[in-house]
Amino acid sequence: MRTRSIASGLAALALLAAALSCQNINVETETLQPPVISNGEPDFRYSMTPARGRSVTITDPNGGADIYYTLNGSTPTNTVSATNYQYTVPFNLAGTEDATTVKARAFKPGLRESSVASRTFELAWKKMSATLTTARMGHGAVEVDGKIYIIGGFTDQSFGLMTADCEVYDVGTGVVSDLGYDLNSARAAFGIAVLNRKIYVIGGTVNGVPDPDPVLVPSASIEVFDTQNPGNWTTVTDELPVAIDNLCAAVSGGVIYIFPGDSGVGSLDTIYAYSPGSDPAAVTLSSGLYSDRTYFQAVPIGAGILLVGGSMSTKDVGSFDPSGPSISDLTDLTTSSYRFASAADLGNVYLFGGYVIGISAAVRKYSDSEGESQDFTMPAALDYPAAASSGGYVYVSGGLVSMSSPPVNTIYRFTP
């Protein structure tokens, strides 16, 4: 009888263990499994406008457990309070913080509560409270030492008026201030690059002579601003071989490479290498061809420079290798567009807005290995904005929201 009783008890324990195992409960410690927190996005970002990834779901892998969660970083308990919630249905992130950490825990009578599950959700887009004093588009934006320098640009929707004004957005304080030194010539659609903490503004569209002249013309001049020793912009004696606007500039290996652009009588198919102190010189390619572009972007990636898009009919992406020097074709964009802003992050290129049949709010992520994919849409459609990266974020400024109204003065922050 005793043997039969022991066997019966062991069988009952085996059945209980099997039942608990079916509920994903750790039998040895009688501890519940932690909840699973998700917003349906692989990288756990979200946006408010347009809404994407805001809704958070907490899943109970145990079955029948009570789930409690917090949003302030504290450890959840099984008592409801002003900061400790019981989960019943998906909830929306508020978007009031740059990042929100959701912590959750499973509870069930007779069993040990689960470990704390934690998930941090970051805002993909944030409209900054600071605004530009001068609304603009077709301007330049570069980062030096945690400050975004916002230079020149068009100030009307007809591409007829320009500014020489320069502003500085301090990423740390969130304050926009006037640089205190204007360009020597109002200009837009220029190339811009930073070398040894000096900002180089190259070519672009300027007013004809005498100034102001209703006819805008391309420029061959180069202006320089030393961020370490602030003072007036210097128009250097170095000049482009030909006047160019709608050009791009990018630095690689201590050299500024200049990619035309429009000469006023047509696009150009020559790349120039510029070492300050001498005039830019034509680059002879060992292989590949530089195809003429306008309203495109040149983005440093590793040791090379990606040449992306340009004009309503161009999907082309090329890679310029300064060591060749050479150009190779990469995977095309899926949609032709122009006048977009760009920035690079972790080997990817991000393209912001521009003109795609109409003014676009799209954010396109591009890499040669994966091609083009859509990222979180901008809060507003923007044509001809400018972008600069700092501290893991991209700051997108200005741009045109309508062909019937002037440019805007907004600054948005994007989290790649």
Instruction: Report the CATH architecture of 125-414.
Output: 6 Propeller (2.120)
- Please report the pLDDT score of residue 2 as a whole number: 38
Could you tell me which residues come within 8 angstroms of residue 9 by beta carbon, excluding any fewer than 6 positions away?
none
In tens, the pLDDT along 238-247 reads: 999 999 999 9
In tens, the pLDDT along 98-153 reads: 999 999 999 999 999 999 999 999 999 999 999 999 999 999 999 999 999 999 99
Terminal-residue alpha carbon distance, the chain: 70
pLDDT of 5 > 50? The answer is no
- Strands (DSSP E) contained in 131-289 are 140-144, 147-151, 166-170, 175-178, 187-188, 191-195, 198-202, 205-207, 216-226, 234-244, 248-252, 255-259, 272-274, 281-282
β pairing state of 45-46 and 117-123: parallel
Which residue intervals of the chain bear CATH 2.120.10.80?
125-414
At residue 252's C-alpha, the angle toward residues 249 and 253, to 5°, is 145
Tell me the pLDDT band of 91, cut-offs 50, 70 and 90. very high
In tens, the pLDDT along 153-209 reads: 999 999 999 999 999 999 999 999 999 999 999 999 999 999 999 999 999 999 987
CA atoms within a 13 Å half-sphere pointing along the CA-CB vector of 144: 21
Tell me which of 235 and 311 has the higher pLDDT.
235
At residue 219's C-alpha, the angle toward residues 215 and 224, to 5°, is 135
In tens, the pLDDT along 319-376 reads: 999 999 999 999 999 988 899 999 999 899 999 999 988 999 999 999 988 899 999 9
Tell me the pLDDT band of 293, cut-offs 50, 70 and 90. confident
| Cα 412 to Cα 246: distance, rounded to the nearest angstrom | 24
CB atoms within 10 A of CB 68: 24
- Please report the pLDDT score of residue 332 as a whole number: 92
Which residue intervals of the chain bear CATH 2.60.40?
18-123
| Cα 349 to Cα 358: distance, rounded to the nearest angstrom | 22
- Please report the pLDDT score of residue 227 as a whole number: 98
pLDDT of 289 > 50? The answer is yes
Tell me the pLDDT band of 24, cut-offs 50, 70 and 90. low
User: Which CATH number among 2.60.40, 1.10.530, 2.30.29, 1.10.101 corresponds to the domain 18-123?
Assistant: 2.60.40
Instruction: Say what the pTM is.
Output: 0.90
Please state the length of the chain: 416
